[in-house]
Chain A
Amino acid sequence: MKFGIVVNEGPYTHQSSDSALQFVKAALQKGHEIFRVFFYHDGVNNGTSLGVPPQDDRNLTLEWSGLAEKHGLDLVVCVAAAQRRGILDEDEMGRHGKSANNLAPGFRISGLGQLIESGIQSDRLVTFGD
């Protein structure tokens, strides 16, 4: 079955990012397809490459990036939510004249249309948030 996943909460806030990650891992293990993971609202904070959690803690951004690399996941960060929170890729950095970019590997910045498409193309849309 094809799944669309929505993550509305940042890492280390409550549990949404962890729950979504565990759900995606279980779904992949069962042979399901993850059409897209859409990071919206504070969820875009999952996509920063600048997080440095303690070494004995899980690194959620790395986990998402690793999963994306291994399974070819499409990790989409909402552009408007990302700009507000200082999550930029190289293009956005240039467009807004900023001095740095921080989008983690495996993530890409796009718009809400990607969420709508995910809802249309997926058999199930599962939302994780606060």
Chain B
Amino acid sequence: MAILHTVNKSPFERNALESCLRLAKAGSSVLLFEDGVIGAMRNTRFSEKVAQAMDDYSFYVLGPDIQARGLDNDKVIDGIQVVDYNGFVDLTTEHDTVQSWL
């Protein structure tokens, strides 16, 4: 069963992303949105961990939440796909269920 995991907290604030990556089954997808977009940025303490997790998971990040924070799509880790709200909706329909890591 394909699960979409949504993470809306910065990895510098809470351990939602780490918990998600520890427990999600390989083959799942992870969408980073709201403050979670920080986890998609290059050159942070968590970048390497996320880059490694890409062996097991497909990563997505919500573009409007990157821009809302004055960040840049160019700074997103290679291989993470930037989506908009339409893409968010599509991700939920393409997966069997949605798990929100609050």
Contacts and interface: CB of A to CB of B under 8 A. Distances in A.
Interface string A17-44: 0010011011101101000000000000
Interface residues of B, number: 19
Given A124-B97, A125-B98, A14 B88 contact: no
Nearest to A19: B34
Contact of A26 (B65, B86, B97): B86
A119 to B, nearest CB: 11
A130 B100 contact: no
B8 A15 contact: yes
B89 A127 contact: no
Contacts, number: 51
Interface in A70-129: 123-129
A19 B86 contact: no
A50 interface: no
B85 interface: yes
B100 A126 contact: yes
Contacts of B89: 23, 26-27, 30, 32
Contacts of A27: 89
B29 to A, nearest CB: 14
A15 B31 CA distance: 16
Contacts of A128: 8, 100
A8 interface: yes
A125 B97 CA distance: 8
Contact of B88 (A15, A26, A29, A125): A26
B87 to A, nearest CB: 9
A127 B102 contact: yes
Nearest to B92: A124
* Nearest 3 interchain pairs by C-beta: A26-B85, A127-B100, A129-B102
5 contacts: A3-B92, A14-B35, A23-B88, A32-B89, A130-B102
